[in-house]
Amino acid sequence: MFTKILIANRGEIACRVIKTAKKMGIQTVAVYSDADKYARHVRLADEAVHLGPAPSRESYLVIDKIIAACKQAGAQAVHPGYGFLSENTEFARRVEEEGIVFIGPKHASIAAMGDKIASKQLALAARVNTIPGYNAAIDTAEQAVEIARGIGYPVMIKASAGGGGKGLRVAFDDKQAFEGFTSCRNEARNSFGDDRVFIEKYVEEPRHIEIQVLGDSYGHIVYLWERECSIQRRHQKVIEEAPSPFISEATRRAMGEQAVQLARAVKYQSAGTVEFVVGKDQSFYFLEMNTRLQVEHPVTEGITGLDLVEMMIRVAAGERIFLTQEDIRRDGWAMECRINAEDPFRGFLPSTGRLVKFAPPVETWTASGEVPEDGGVRVDTGVVDGGEIPMYYDSMIAKLVVKGRDRADAIAKMRAALNAFAIRGISSNIPFQAALLAHPKFVAGDFNTGFIAEQYPKGFSAAAAFDTEAVQADLMLLRALAAVAHRIHLDRSARITGQLPGHELIIKPDSIVITTDGQGNPESVPVSVVPDNDSFRVTLGGVCYAIEFDTPLREVVIHGRIDGQPFCAQIERIDLIYRVIYNGLQLDAKVRSLLAAQLSALMPFKAPPDLSRFLLSPMPGLLVDVTVKPGQKVLAGEKLAVIEAMKMENILLATQDAVVAEVKAAKGESLAVDQVIIRFE
């Protein structure tokens, strides 16, 4: 067994590998860029080596620097994690040639299966079900359009070296095929250094289900069941679970056997994943093979009880896998939510900056530990309270994983864990995740990869996500929680000493909770809050609640009971507003006395400034391109600028016909949120 390994990665996955290495008594070496000097993975490792500047192409993607770091630290092996160089054939080959063990498959397997064009051809030869398509690199956008017409729309345009939703577009017509090809090549070149692109038929109403495989150097290969990964946004996974609520036992076995057959064809060693697209009739087709550890590997660990990182290390050290297919258990239900630094209320734009508060729920199951029999909560993360989310890398800041007795129990545990997950300073997709988990179709297991686009065609708005009685009831409950928080605040004020005799603060039970609807119009709801021993009796909207807080209001995450049932919500006071977050809903409420509410209604309305004459940066990022000049006429829908943030290109389009008066930002400039890029006449 190794005594020291280097992790050629950063963030959450680097921390994850370090945990297992420590359990095994192996010393760890971290690598870091300028942006990650104080990162969590650097602190957790036994030692760390500096690689270079923040951009990954100058640090984490430089093979020579990684190999030099291994030699400098005396590491016998290197774990690549996922992303970066994890599926780079040249990296694996160079590492092997330098006498360092690559904790992953051999470079020949990566070459055969990591390249999506080669893997499709190999799968065809191995008689694995494959999707119709053009399985060779395409040179021009015009050729891409011609091929797409031949296959028949819709088609999927994919970068050969792509992954994580990058270098992938779905086209429904010639225009989308032309533009999608260009964007895919650019993203692939920037992210992976390989701009080859191919096209295949897009299966409508598909499910994305993948099989985890594990092989050793003695030719023994097993599959560790499947993962359901159909809940995706822009082809990036959002929620993953194991097992799948959709496929039958017969389909599960057939997919597993084909995955093993494919892995055996390339003499696969280590952990890998064979991805399938599954039709509504349970027909399935090979999509691609990821020759690395997957982001969502914890859900497989949850149902099997295996530590996949440990298995990878043991296989790389030459040990046998003694598990037979019959030994691999499938116990309970595991689910993972990716917590990303993005704003779901602003079109999921990236959000970078300092984590003013990062307080995940209490962990009852750790990454390298045993899975509790009754289930538990696990948080895999690479950040800490007060840390920085840089703009140079992907947007995922944590993985929230739960294990339940069954699917309903897993959903309930996940909703409770999301309620207890507090992030401030940057925006996160937690409200969106919570809303998805409450969606009737998700709860019923009735979804495919188009679920998010179909259910939220105009974007995400927590209150209007699905107008059900349950949502309306939750909104009333949020108002009640705001009213109780305000009452506790007043009780504190009433206890302040030195009040003028005869003029002490007298608290009246009746007040008004003022919120705004989706269009910004004020909504007022009368509320009555009366103390009742250790709780408060709250009446509003014809509903009565008995609410008790067990947590002081100085904490953001509040635990307590509503009508005797435990609850967890986030409540904080921002100036005169109470912000309440619960079950994916966020409510900003002002609680006023009856007189104050009457006077407030008489205040004049201040209209917001007119920003229609400006193109503002919707996110922090790098201005990659400005496509217009002063004096140029632009039409609605025309491309104006391109911003790169967290390895994704974001194209800004004109919302109306206009004439460019001035370009205020230069190509290559780092932009802040709402910074002016273009002024129109």
Catalytic residues, by residue number, are 288
- How far is Cα 183 from Cα 158, in angstroms, rounded to an integer? 10
Contacts (Cβ under 8 Å, ≥6 apart) of 50: 31, 32, 33, 34, 37
Residue 438, H or E segment:
helix 430-438
The amino acid at 613: R
**Long-range contact set of residues 628-637: C-beta below 8 Å, sequence gap at least 24:** 628/660, 628/663, 628/678, 629/660, 629/663, 630/660, 630/661, 630/662, 630/663, 631/659, 631/660, 632/659, 632/660, 633/657, 633/658, 633/659, 633/660, 634/658, 634/659, 634/660
Extract the tokens encoding 489.
């605040």
The count of residues in the chain is 681
- How far is Cα 485 from Cα 567, in angstroms, rounded to an integer? 15
Contacts (Cβ under 8 Å, ≥6 apart) of 148: 155, 157, 171, 174, 177, 199
The amino acid at 414: M
Extract the tokens encoding 160.
């050969």
Find out whether 408 and 383 touch, Cβ atoms under 8 Å: no
Question: What is the phi/psi pair of residue 42, to 5°?
Answer: -70, -40
DSSP3 helix / strand / coil % (the chain, rounded to 5): 30, 35, 40
Half-sphere exposure of 312 (CA within 13 A, CB side): 30
Q: What string of DSSP letters covers 115-148?
A: SHHHHHHHHHHTT--B--EE-S----HHHHHHHH
Q: What is the three-class DSSP state of 261?
A: helix
- How far is Cα 434 from Cα 470, in angstroms, rounded to an integer? 14
H runs (alpha helix) in 581-668: 594-600
Q: What is the three-class DSSP state of 385?
A: coil
Nearest to 323 by CA among 216, 227, 217, 212: 216
